[in-house]
Structure 1
Amino acid sequence: MPWHQGVSDTLFEIECEGHRHTVVWSAGELLLPDHPNISAEKVLVALGGPKPRCLDILDLWNFALSDAGFIEEWAPWYKADHQRRWWLNTALERLRSEGVQDFLYDLPRDKAVKMGEVVTTLPHEFLDRAMAAVVDAADKRGWDFAPSMHRHLIEATKLRARRSLVQALANQRPSVPNPALIPFTCIVELLDVPLVSGRLSGRDSHVEISLHPRWLSRVWARGVSVHVGRFTVDLTEHNGVTTLHQIEWSEDNGELRPSLVNCHV
C-alpha cells in the first residue's frame, strides 16, 4: 500500500491569469484542475508564451521532491506558523537582493533561493506530504540521504514523536497526570525493529523509544501516529493486511510498563 493511501486531499487557491485557481494534492499527486492540458501549455511557454502561475507551483513541487532541501526549514515546525512565514518572505527577498543567507544554511545560495520559494509558497500541509514522498522514496532506495539531511529528519522525527506520545498518554486509562512533563527520549536510528522501554510511576516516570526515521512517512504522514489512543511505532503490511505496532501500557506492581502490541486496521 503506498504511503499516501487514505491520506486526505488538501488544496489551496492562487491568483493565476486573472482568476482564482485551485491547486490540489490528492493520492500522491499535485493536480491543477483549472489546467486540463498542462503538456500543451508547457509547449506554449517553451515557445515564448507567458507562464501561468499554476505551472510555477507545479515546478516548485517537483523541485521540492527531487531536491528535498526544504526539509531543513520544515523539520522544526510541527504546524504552520504565520509569523515564521512572514519572516521567511523577508529573508528570501534579502537573499535575492543582498545575497545574505539567513536560512537554509545547508544549501548553496542558488538552491536556497529556489527552496525559499518552496517554503514560502506551498502551504505547510503540502510540505508535510512532500516530506513523506521524499522519505518514502529514500527508504525504498536504501536510505541514501546526506548526513545533513539525515540530521534534519532525526530532528523532525523526535519532535513529532514527542507530540504524538503526549497525545497518546493523554488518552491513557488510568489517567497519567501531566503527560507533557514526563521525561522522554527518542532515539532515531536505521533499525528494522522499533523498541520501547520505561515506566509510568509518578516522579520516576520516563519513556524511551527507538524509531526508524521512515516513521515519518509510514506512520506520522498517514495520520496514525496515535490510533485508538495508543502511540504507533511502526506500520507494516503483509498479504493485504495492514498492522499497526503500538505501545500498550499495563499495570505491574503499582506502575505502568510498556509493551508492543499489534493492531490490524
Structure 2
Amino acid sequence: MPWYEQVPPVTFDVDCEGNRHSITWSQGNIVLQQHPEIDAEKALVALGGVKPKCLEVFDLWQLAVLDGGFIEEWAPWHYSDRQRRWWLMTALERLRSEGVQDFLYDLPRERALKMGEVSVTLPHEFLDRATAAVVDAADQRGWDFNPSLSRHLAEATRLRARRAFVKAVSHQRPSIPSPALIPFRCHINLSEESWVRGYLSGRDSHVEVSLHPRWLSRVWARGVAVHKGRFTVDASETDDSVSLTQVEWTDKGNKLDPELMTSQL
C-alpha cells in the first residue's frame, strides 16, 4: 500500500486566467480542477499560447519531485513560516536581478532559481508531500542521492523524529515529566534495521534511535510518526496493508525500557 493512499488531499488556490482556480494534491497526483485536459493545454502552449498559471504550478511540482533541490530549504522547517516565505521571495528576486545567492547554497544558480520558485510557490503541505515522493522514489532506486541532499534529508528526519518522540512520550502513563528535556539522539543509517536504546528514569533518562531516511515517506508523511500514543520507527508495506514498528515502554521497576513491537495500521 503506497504511502500516499493514507494521506489526506490538500488544495490551494491561484489566480489564473482572471479567476481563482484550485490545485489539489490527492493520492500522489496533482489535479488542476479547472484544467482537466493538461496534455491538450500543453500542446496549445507549445504552439505559442499563453501558459496558464495552473500549468506553471503543475510543472513546478513535477520539477520539484524530479530534482529534490528544494529540500535544502524545506528540511529545517516543520511548519510553514510566513516571515521565512516573505524573506525567500525577496532573496529569490535578488538572485534573479543581482545574482546574489542567499539561500539553497548547495545548488548552482540556475537550479537555485528553479527550486527557489518551487519553495515560494508551493504551500508547505505540498512541499511535505513532494519530499515524501522524492524519498520514496529514491528508496525504490536504491538511495542514490548526492551527499548534500542526503545530509539535508538526515537533518529533516532528525528534526521530525525528535518532535514525534516528545509527543509520544507525553502520552506515556504514568506521565513522564518534561519529555522535551529528555536527551534524544537520532542516528541516520542506510543499512541497519531501525533500533531504539536507552531508558526513561527521571533525570537519568536518555534515548537513542536509528532510522532510515525513508522514515520520512513510510512513517512521517503517512501521519503515523505517533500512532496510538507510540513512537513509530518504521513501516512495512504490502499490497493491502501496513505494519508499524513502534516503541513500547516496559516497566522495569525504577525505569522504563524500550522494546519494539509490531502492529497493523
TM-score, normalised relative to structure 1: 0.98
Q: What CA deviation, in whole Å up to 9, does each residue of 1:180-220 have, x standing for no partner?
A: 00000000110341010111111100010000010000000
Q: State the one-letter code of the partner of 1:81.
A: D
Q: CA deviation at 1:239?
A: 6.7
Distance 1:239 1:36 in 2: 29
**Structure 2 unaligned blocks of 5 or more:** none
Q: CA deviation at 1:159?
A: 0.1
The equivalences for 1:171-190 within 5 A come to: 171-190=171-190
Q: CA deviation at 1:237?
A: 2.7
Runs of 4+ in structure 1 over 3 Å off:
238-241
Distance 2:23 2:81 in 1: 21
**Percent of pairs identical after alignment?**
64
Structure 1 residues 57-66 or 39-48, which shifts more?
39-48
Q: CA deviation at 1:94?
A: 0.3
**Aligned residue number for residue 159 of structure 1:** 159
Q: CA deviation at 1:238?
A: 4.3
**RMSD of aligned residue pairs (Cα, Å):** 0.9
CA contact (8 A) 2:196 2:209 kept: yes
TM-score, normalised relative to structure 2: 0.98
Distance 2:31 2:60 in 1: 13
CA contact (8 A) 1:234 1:246 kept: yes
Distance 1:11 1:242 in 2: 26
Q: State the one-letter code of the partner of 2:46.
A: A
Structure 1 residues 22-31 or 233-242, which shifts more?
233-242
CA contact (8 A) 2:2 2:237 kept: no
Q: What CA deviation, in whole Å up to 9, does each residue of 1:149-186 have, x standing for no partner?
A: 00000000000000000000000011000000000000
Q: What CA deviation, in whole Å up to 9, does each residue of 1:62-98 have, x standing for no partner?
A: 1001110000000000010110000000000000000
CA contact (8 A) 1:191 1:211 kept: no
Distance 2:81 2:38 in 1: 32
CA contact (8 A) 2:12 2:23 kept: yes
Q: State the one-letter code of the partner of 1:216.
A: L
Distance 1:127 1:161 in 2: 18
**Aligned residue number for residue 42 of structure 1:** 42
CA contact (8 A) 2:194 2:212 kept: yes
Q: CA deviation at 1:241?
A: 3.5
**Aligned residue number for residue 117 of structure 2:** 117
